[in-house]
């Protein structure tokens, strides 16, 4: 005679005996997924939204990626602080300020301002006026406390040649007096700027401050 068919309880018991391990593992996995989703939803609902103060929002609105802010003063039509595209040059800043004004000292402008120089964020630029004394103009151009703390040299000044500059031109640089200027002149010619230190014309600390304003 054939085997008698199993009733329902026996079928369930046999099914559980055969598949209990996969069933248990699957149930545990589903439970972990439910717990994880619950925690995620609660953390999202209770987290504080990020907000910006009005000042931060204003700065964010002004300073966008690929832009810089520069301060231009002196003989321009509209002196002030301007936002320019990254990579802008001195000439772009002058144009943004309405161009040079009637007060401009054209001769001094051509000598001390490199209109093709690239600007950096936070740069301070002064366009010389007629009537500025040498001392006033120099102080207003290279005074360190007028510059950004991250920007130690003024963009726009023509570099001074250590091989060709006169004593008065060398003395116009901050930190160089008559004695140092004479040492620089007596040590000529220089094949590299670093030879200023090697030949003991100036010290390393002063060289580090001035190297951005020097050329051969």
Q: What is the pTM of this model?
A: 0.42
- Give the closest residue to 87 by CA, choosing from 127, 119, 124, 135: 119
Alpha carbons 198 and 184: distance in angstroms, whole number: 11
- Kindly tell me if the per-residue pLDDT of 147 is higher than 70: no
Backbone angles phi, psi at 68, to 5 degrees: -140, 160
| Neighbouring C-beta atoms of residue 126, cutoff 10 Å | 25
Buried b (16+ CB within 10 A) or exposed e, 35-70: eeeeeeeeeeeeeeeeeeeeeeeeeeeeeeeeebbb
Residues 91-106: tens digit of each pLDDT:
999 999 999 999 988 8
Query: Among positive and negative, which fits the CA dihedral 159, 160, 162, 165?
Result: positive
Alpha carbons 189 and 169: distance in angstroms, whole number: 17
Chain-centroid distance, C-alpha 185: 36
- Contact by Cβ (8 Å): 79, 100: no
- Confidence category of residue 7, pLDDT binned at 50, 70, 90: low
- Confidence category of residue 115, pLDDT binned at 50, 70, 90: confident
Q: What is the mean pLDDT of residues 62-85?
A: 85
CATH architecture designation of domain 160-215: Orthogonal Bundle (1.10)
Q: Break the chain down into helix, strand, coil percent, rounded to 5.
A: 45, 15, 40
* Alpha-carbon distances, residue 100 vs 95, 137, 142, 178 (angstroms): 8, 16, 20, 34
- Confidence category of residue 48, pLDDT binned at 50, 70, 90: low
Instruction: Please state the domain extents for the chain.
Output: 63-146, 160-215
Query: Among positive and negative, which fits the CA dihedral 8, 10, 15, 16?
Result: positive
pLDDT for 16: 76
Alpha carbons 10 and 198: distance in angstroms, whole number: 99
- The larger pLDDT score, comparing residue 197 to residue 125, is at 197
Mean pLDDT estimate for the chain? 76
């Amino acid at each position: 005679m054939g085997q008698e068919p199993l009733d329902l309880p026996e079928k369930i018991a046999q099914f559980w005996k055969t598949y209990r391990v996969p069933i248990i593992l699957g149930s545990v996995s589903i439970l972990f997924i439910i717990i994880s989703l619950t925690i995620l939803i609660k953390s999202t609902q209770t987290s504080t939204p990020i907000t910006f103060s009005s000042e931060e929002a204003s700065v964010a609105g002004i300073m966008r990626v690929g832009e810089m802010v520069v301060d231009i003063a002196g003989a321009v039509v509209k002196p002030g602080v301007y936002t320019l595209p990254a990579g802008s040059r001195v000439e772009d800043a002058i144009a943004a300020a309405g161009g040079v004004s009637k007060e401009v000292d054209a001769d001094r402008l051509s000598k001390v301002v490199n209109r093709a120089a690239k600007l950096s964020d936070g740069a301070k630029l002064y366009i010389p006026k007629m009537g500025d004394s040498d001392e006033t103009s120099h102080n207003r151009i290279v005074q360190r406390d007028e510059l950004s703390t991250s920007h130690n040299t003024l963009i726009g000044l023509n570099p001074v040649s250590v091989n060709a500059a006169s004593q008065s031109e060398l003395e116009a640089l901050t930190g160089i007096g008559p004695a140092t200027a004479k040492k620089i002149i007596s040590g000529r010619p220089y094949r590299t700027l670093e030879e200023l230190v090697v030949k003991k014309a100036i010290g390393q600390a002063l060289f580090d401050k001035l190297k951005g304003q020097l050329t051969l």
